[in-house]
């Protein structure tokens, strides 16, 4: 058992945009696979044709490309266990459904929706199981010839698993330990529908995990209630030996209060719950982490810590570190609050940690939107000066637009507070001082200007405040002489003279 190759799968159903909880599930599978040198597989579970949403599969693939979580096998990649899209595996499932029927582990049920409804009205808490299946229209109660006649006449049926009541079913979970269920709580779940000739999720999921030699099933807690049925299916097929280990991840909870994180929480508090923007068929837009300006590395780091920790306080981790440190036994059983402010904090940290060139590259499109074309080297320098004040790449514009465009107005409050009686006179004097400097580097300017202030016995703060107002238009920005050095002598003098003119 111990030398079994690690093979894990992410198995989304293409029913809409992938929720951020699904992304976390995929990330944990990815970390686990990479740590063990195993395989990370993308399987699309699209057997529920009613819930199929066009574009969802493409969305899923694009999201993982963006996040750099690359699959080794699966839809879009290929591999020798394919096809990896369940809708392309009908014949495989048919064969295995038949095997269960032949071995008396499953049976055909012909009950119409009306008949089922009538039973539900007749018996409180009706459950299709050992206690009721004898009263229903199925291949266990009908004569063999009748069943054959119904099938040949094209009557629709479902195949149900035949659950033996009152048995202990153990689900061994790597996070939760041994979870025991009594089989009597389970109903004879539908495994297959003749109407669309497709299996249900449960059957397809187990058959595929077996055939694809999946070693570990790492998925959201919402699938835990299905796990005993899945264990019974492995038993029914005689595949207990190759049953994967289970790990059910904690739920993602609302940032405030209790309950499962929903899209509405995101809308209310202003954070995305999807990796990429999604536009539904009615044109409603749901925001995405990518479009909101998050860096993929920051998203991965943030998600990794929602339900897992490395055993100490370390938060900022590279992908390689996460791969090395990840440990299912350090995943929590209880839900993880979705602290989206932490996500913003991570994004801030990643912007600081990334090389300025990389951030500048991303900033170029924003600059373009504002009609700015600037030498790349200059953009890199500016990014380096202002990025500590930003959480998102797009915020770089507000923090730095004055480098690219002279102010056309001056912030009133700042003027009131910082433009003194003598500011105009001092600024035109300063312009003359600066005009005489040949080496316009920040250091040279600073030395000369400070000498001038000292000689004239001016108030440094007042001079600097007025200087800033003249160049920036308000009271913000990085070190003053860094600004004037980047603007260059000509532009600095022009802005000083314009301020003198406008503010008097
Ligand atoms: N298709 C299921 C989903 O949408 C897969 C659950 C599992 O991983 O077994 O999440």
Sequence ranges of the domains in the chain = 89-249, 354-394, 412-503
Cα 496-497-503 angle, rounded to 5 deg: 85
Our answer on whether the CB atom of 205 is closer than 6 Å to any ligand 1 atom is yes
Our answer on whether the CB atom of 45 is closer than 6 Å to any ligand 1 atom is yes
Which CATH code for domain 412-503?
A: 1.10.10.350
Q: Give me ligand 1 centre to Cα 235, in Å.
A: 20
Q: What is the three-class DSSP state of 176?
A: coil
Q: Give me ligand 1 centre to Cα 434, in Å.
A: 67
Its sign, for the CA torsion 41, 47, 48, 49, is positive
Distance CA 144, CA 45 (A): 34
Angle between helices 460-472 and 442-456 (to 10 degrees): 130
Top mutation candidate among 13, 23, 46, 208 for ligand 1, by most atoms within 8 Å of CB: 13
Task: Detail the DSSP E strand segments found in 212-298.
Answer: 216-220, 245-249, 252-253, 278-279, 285-286
pTM of this structure: 0.92
Nearest Cα to Cα of residue 484 among 372, 408, 494 = 494
* Residue-level pLDDT at 258: 83
Our answer on whether the CB atom of 29 is closer than 6 Å to any ligand 1 atom is no
Number of helices followed by number of strands (H, E) in the chain: 19, 15
Distance, C-alpha 65 to centroid of its chain: 12
* Residue-level pLDDT at 79: 97
Q: How far apart are the first and last CA of the chain?
A: 84
In b/e form, how buried is each residue of 199-234, taking b as 16+ CB within 10 angstroms? bbbbbbbbbbbbebebbbbbbbbebbebbbbbbbbb
Work out which ligand 1 atom sits closest to the CA atom of 201: 1
Distance CA 78, CA 73 (A): 5
Helix H, strand E, coil C: the string for 289-329 is CCCCCCCHHHHHHHHHCCCECCCCCCCCCCHHHHHHHCCHH
Q: What is the pLDDT along the chain (504 residues), one digit of tens a residue?
A: 457 999 999 999 999 999 999 999 999 999 999 999 999 999 999 998 888 899 999 999 999 999 999 999 999 999 999 999 999 999 999 999 999 999 999 999 999 999 999 999 999 999 999 999 999 999 999 999 999 999 999 999 999 999 999 999 999 999 999 999 999 999 999 999 999 899 999 999 999 999 999 999 999 999 999 999 999 999 999 999 999 999 999 999 999 878 999 988 998 899 999 999 999 999 999 999 999 999 999 999 999 999 999 999 999 999 999 999 999 999 999 999 999 999 999 999 999 999 999 999 999 999 999 999 999 999 999 999 999 999 999 999 999 999 999 999 999 999 999 999 999 999 999 999 999 999 999 999 999 999 999 999 999 999 999 999 999 999 999 999 999 999 999 999 999 999 999 998
Q: 89-249, what's its fold?
A: 3.90.800
Our answer on whether the CB atom of 11 is closer than 6 Å to any ligand 1 atom is yes
Question: Residue holding tokens 């198995």?
Answer: 11
Q: Give me ligand 1 centre to Cα 14, in Å.
A: 10
Nearest residue by C-alpha to atom 10 in ligand 1? 12
Our answer on whether the CB atom of 219 is closer than 6 Å to any ligand 1 atom is yes
Distance CA 175, CA 336 (A): 14
Our answer on whether the CB atom of 223 is closer than 6 Å to any ligand 1 atom is yes
Distance CA 326, CA 310 (A): 7
Instruction: Show which residues are catalytic.
Output: 263
Distance CA 54, CA 262 (A): 22
Nearest residue by C-alpha to atom 2 in ligand 1? 12
Nearest residue by C-alpha to atom 3 in ligand 1? 12
């Amino acid at each position: 058992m111990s030398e079994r190759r690690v093979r894990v799968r992410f198995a989304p159903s293409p029913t809409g945009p992938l929720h951020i909880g699904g992304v976390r599930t995929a990330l944990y599978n990815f970390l686990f696979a990479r740590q063990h040198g195993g395989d990370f597989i993308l399987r699309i579970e699209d057997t529920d044709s009613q819930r199929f949403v066009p574009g969802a599969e493409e969305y899923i693939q694009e999201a993982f490309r963006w996040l750099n979580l690359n699959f080794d096998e699966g839809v879009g990649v290929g591999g020798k266990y394919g096809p990896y899209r369940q809708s392309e595996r009908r014949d495989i499932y048919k064969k295995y459904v038949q095997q269960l029927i032949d071995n008396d582990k499953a049976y055909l049920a012909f009950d119409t929706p009306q008949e089922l409804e009538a039973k539900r009205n007749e018996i409180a808490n009706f459950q299709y199981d050992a206690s009721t299946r004898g009263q229903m229209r199925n291949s266990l109660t009908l004569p063999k010839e009748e069943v054959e006649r119904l099938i040949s006449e094209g009557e629709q049926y479902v195949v149900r698993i035949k659950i033996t009541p009152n048995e202990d079913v153990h689900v061994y979970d790597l996070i939760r330990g041994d979870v025991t269920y009594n089989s009597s709580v389970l109903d004879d779940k539908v495994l297959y529908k003749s109407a669309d000739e497709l299996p249900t999720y449960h059957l397809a999921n187990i058959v595929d995990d077996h055939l694809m030699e999946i070693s570990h099933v790492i998925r959201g807690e919402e699938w835990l209630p299905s796990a005993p049925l899945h264990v019974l299916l492995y038993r029914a097929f005689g595949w207990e030996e190759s049953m994967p280990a289970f790990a059910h991840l904690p739920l993602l909870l609302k940032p405030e209060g209790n309950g499962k994180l929903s899209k509405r929480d995101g809308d209310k508090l202003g954070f995305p719950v999807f990796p990429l923007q999604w536009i539904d068929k009615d044109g409603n837009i749901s925001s995405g982490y990518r479009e909101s300006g998050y860096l993929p590395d920051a998203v991965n780091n943030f998600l990794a810590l929602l339900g897992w920790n490395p055993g100490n306080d370390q938060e900022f981790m590279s992908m390689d570190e996460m791969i090395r440190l990840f440990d299912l036994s350090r995943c929590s059983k209880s839900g993880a609050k979705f602290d989206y402010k932490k996500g913003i904090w991570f994004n801030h940290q990643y912007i600081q940690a990334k090389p300025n060139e990389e951030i500048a590259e991303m900033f170029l499109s924003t600059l373009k939107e504002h009609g700015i074309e600037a030498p790349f080297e200059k953009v890199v320098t500016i990014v380096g000066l202002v990025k500590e004040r930003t959480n998102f790449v797009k915020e770089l514009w507000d923090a730095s637009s004055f480098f690219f465009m002279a102010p056309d107005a001056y912030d009133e409050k700042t003027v009131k507070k910082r433009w003194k009686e003598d500011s105009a006179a001092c600024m035109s004097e300063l312009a003359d001082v600066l005009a005489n400097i040949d080496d316009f580097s920040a250091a040279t300017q600073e030395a000369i200007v400070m000498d001038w202030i000292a000689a004239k016995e001016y108030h440094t703060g007042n001079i600097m405040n007025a200087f800033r107002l003249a160049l920036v238009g308000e009271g913000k920005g990085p070190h003053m002489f860094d600004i004037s050095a980047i603007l260059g002598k000509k532009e600095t003098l022009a802005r000083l003279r314009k301020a003198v003119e406008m503010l008097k």
